[in-house]
Amino acid sequence: MINPIIHTFNIFGYEFALRWYGVIVMLGVIVGSLMVERALKRHGENSDTIWDALIWVLPIGILGARLWFVINATLGGDPRYANDPAEIFKVWNGGLHIFGGLLLGGATLLFYLNKNKLDAWLFLDAAGPAMLVGQAIGRIANFINQELYGPPTTRPWGIPISAEHRLSNAYVNYSDLIKYPVETTRFHPTFAYEMLWNFAAAGLLLWIWRRYEKDIKPGTIFAGWLLLAGIGRAWIEFFRPDQPKIADLGISYSAVVSGLMAITGAIILMARYKAIHLQVAEDWEEEYQISTQPQPQAEPEEIVEEQKVPRVKKVAKATSKAVAVKKDSASKTTTKTPAPKKKPATRTKKSSE
C-alpha cells in the first residue's frame, strides 16, 4: 500500500506532514478551475474571474466540508467531536464531506458573482462538469487512505484493506479478522465506482454542451449536474457501510441529500424547457449575460509576431520578383546579340544592245 504521508517537515520543533490526500484534492481543485476558465473564455467572459472567486470559495468550501462531516458523524452516533471539540479542527486526520463544501462554497460563489454583477448561470453551468472531474480526481486519495470502501466481495476488482483500516460500527464489524481474514478478504472499491461515474457524467455534460451549444439554455448543464451527481451518489450510498444511517429509514443522510439533488435537477430541467410551469422560471434568461469587464490584452510580442509574418512574406515575394526580372533581362541581353548588318549588293550597269 502507498504511504499516505509524502514527507514530514520539522519547523521550529513542530512537525508538519505533507499528505497525498491534500495534494490530490488540490490537484482536483486546480483541474476543475482550469475547466471553468476554459468554458468562460469560450463564451466570451473574462476567464480570470474564476481565480479571483477561488480565493474566497476555496477556504470557505473546506470549512463547510469539515463542518458537514462533523455534523454527519455526530448524527450517526460518533461521540468524538462532542467529547473533545478540539478534534473538529484536526482536518489532517481526515474528514471532509463534499456536500458541505458544495453548500458553503456555492453560497460564497453566488455572493461573489452577484456583488461583481456576473451571470451566475454561466458560472454554474461551467462549474457542473468541473466539479464532477475534480471530485473524481479526489477519489484517488481515498484509495491511498484505504477509506470509503464497500462490503466484502469476491469480484476480481475487489481491493484488500489492512486490519487498522477495517470498519467497525453499529452496522458492520469488518475488524473481525477470523470472519474476514486480511489475506483473502476483498472489498468493493466504492470510491472507484463513484470516480468512474463522475468522469462519465462530466463527459456526457460536456458533449451535450458543445454539441447543442446554440440551442442549449442557461442553467441546463447545472441542472444536469444536479441530476447525474445526485443519482450516482444515491446509488453509491447503498454500497457504503461507513455512512451514518437514519434509524427509521435505514438509509444514510447522504443518500437522502443525493436524492433531493437529483429531484431538484429534474425539476429545473423540466421548468427550463416548459415541461412544467413554475412562476419563478417565467423570466429565466434565454442567453448568457456576458459582463463588460475588460478582456485580457494580447502580449506585445504576440502582436509584433502577427504583424511581422505577412510583411516578411511580402518582402520575400517582392524580392523574388525583382530577382526574376533581373535574370530575365540579363538573359535577354546576353543571349540575343544582334547580327552584323550586311552591305547592300552593288548592281553593275549592262551595256546597251
Q: In Å, what is the CA distance from 336 to each residue of 266, 327, 332, 333?
A: 88, 14, 6, 6
Q: What is the Cα–Cα distance from 259 to 85, expressed in whole angstroms? A: 31
The answer to which of 7-16, 87-96, 113-122, 148-157 has the lowest mean pLDDT is 87-96
Domain contains 176: no
pLDDT at residue number 96: 87
- Note the pLDDT tens digit of each residue in 8-65: 888 887 888 889 998 999 999 999 999 999 999 999 999 999 999 999 999 999 999 9
pLDDT at 295: 53
- Indicate whether 127 belongs to any domain: yes
Average pLDDT over residues 204-217: 94
In the predicted model, is pLDDT for residue 134 greater than 70?
yes
Residue 334 banded pLDDT, cuts 50, 70, 90: very low
Specify the higher pLDDT residue, 154 or 243. 154
Cell of 6: 509524502
Q: State the SS3 of 186-242.
A: EECCHHHHHHHHHHHHHHHHHHHHHHCCCCCCCCHHHHHHHHHHHHHHHHHHCCCCC
**Cell matching residue 312:** 516578411
Q: If phi over 0 gives left and psi between -120 and 50 gives alpha, with beta otherwise, what is residue 83? A: alpha
Mean pLDDT, rounded, of the chain: 84
Residue 72 is assigned to a structural domain of this protein = yes
Asked if the structure places residue 141 within a domain, the reply is yes
Residue 91 or 82, more confident: 82
Distance CA 60, CA 54 (A): 10
What pTM did the predictor assign?
0.79
Decide if pLDDT at 343 tops 70: no
pLDDT (mean) for 271-294 = 83
Q: How confident is the model at residue 77, as a pLDDT?
A: 79
pLDDT, average across residues 84-96: 81
Distance between CA atoms of residues 189 and 202, nearest Å:
20
Give the closest residue to 216 by CA, choosing from 226, 201, 227, 206: 206
Structural domain contains residue 138: yes
Percent of the chain exceeding pLDDT 90 equals: 59
**Cα(173)–Cα(122) distance, rounded to whole angstroms?**
47
Q: What is the largest CA-CA distance in the chain?
A: 159
pLDDT score, position 287: 92
pLDDT at residue number 170: 79
What pLDDT sits at residue 280? 76
Backbone angles phi, psi at 246, to 5 degrees: -85, 115
Residue 181 lies in a domain: no
**Mean pLDDT of the 267-281 span:** 88
Please give the pLDDT value at position 294.
Answer: 52
Return d(Cα 245, Cα 60) in angstroms, integer.
27
In this prediction, residue 28 carries a pLDDT of: 96
> Which residue did the predictor score with more confidence, 348 or 12?
12
Confidence of residue 340 (pLDDT cuts 50, 70, 90): low
Counting Cα atoms < 13 Å in the Cβ hemisphere of 197 gives 18
Whether 164 shows a pLDDT value over 70: the answer reads yes
Q: Whole domain around residue 40: which residue ranges?
A: 5-150+189-281
Which has more confidence, 304 or 20?
20
Using pLDDT thresholds of 50, 70 and 90, give the confidence band for residue 321: low
Report the candidate in 312, 183, 171 with the shortest Cα–Cα distance to residue 237.
Answer: 171
**Predicted confidence (pLDDT) at residue 282 exceeds the cutoff of 50:** yes
Q: Give how many domains the chain has, as a whole number.
A: 1
Assigned domain for 286 exists = no
Whether 327 maps to a domain, the answer reads: no
